[in-house]
Amino acid sequence: MRKRSRSDPEERRSHILDEAIRIVGRHGYHGFTIQQLAQVCGMTNGGLLYHFPSKENLLVAILEERDRRDAAIVPQDVDLSARDCGSDSGYALSTVRSLLRAIVARTVAEPELARLHAVLQSEAMAPSHPAHGYFERREAMVLEEFAAMLTGHCRDPRSAARQTLAMIDGLVQQWLRANGAFDLIAQWDAAAAAILPASSAHD
């Protein structure tokens, strides 16, 4: 007679990832230990390693999980309607605004995910870090996407993309450090008004 309510194999794995995101998001890859995580999950050292054969392997799984959850939130209401209006090659400014706002809002909705991202991104600056490549690719991708979005709305989309990303990242990090003590979205809205091009006449 089992009384484990969490005997579902897949759910177990998911539970571990949940806790892992929380802990790694707080202490980083080098700062957390398998034992610590196992304890929080109510299992033994080796029990955890059954699900994720190595620490590095676990990190990869965490990153994948992050992407999965990330993808689940943002695009739903924005991406699909992205190209429905406006110029030939780009997005309408209002769409861009919505998208960026959604990105920022996601931080507030899922602070653990945001913390994980912030902490690992800095830690992974060192080329020897197991997540270095991941964040390298990811940043390039995001910059490209942002630039694409902004194309047609400003003279130097590449540069605008950098500034946009910088502002988002910077604000998010402050917000995380402050434990959510200020209104991140309002702050972003104010910043967006300055950074993003004013609405064009026909918008």
Partner DNA sequence: GATGAATGAGGCTTCATTCAT
Partner DNA sequence: GATGAATGAAGCCTCATTCAT
**Applying CB under 7 A, which residues contact DNA?**
1-2, 4-7, 9, 12, 32-36, 42-51, 53-56
- 194 belongs to the binding site for its own copies (CB under 8 A): yes
Tokens 């690992």 belong to residue: 120
Minimum distance from residue 40 beta carbon to DNA (Å): 13
Minimum distance from residue 164 beta carbon to its own copies (Å): 9
Integer-rounded Cα Rg, in Å, for the chain is 20
- Per CB under 8 A, the segment of 5-13, 52-60, 76-84, 155-163 that binds its own copies is 155-163
Minimum distance from residue 179 beta carbon to its own copies (Å): 10
Residue count (the chain): 203
Interface pick for its own copies out of 71, 109, 126, 141 (rule CB under 8 A): 126
- 113 belongs to the binding site for its own copies (CB under 8 A): no
- 176 belongs to the binding site for its own copies (CB under 8 A): yes
Minimum distance from residue 197 beta carbon to DNA (Å): 47
Report what 129 binds from its own copies, DNA, none; CB cut-off 5-8 Å by kind.
its own copies
Q: Tell me the C-alpha distance between 121 and 116, whole Å.
A: 8
Residues near its own copies, by CB under 8 A: 26-28, 30-31, 115, 118-119, 121-123, 125-126, 128-129, 135-136, 139, 156, 159, 162-163, 165-171, 173-174, 176-177, 182, 187, 190-191, 194-195
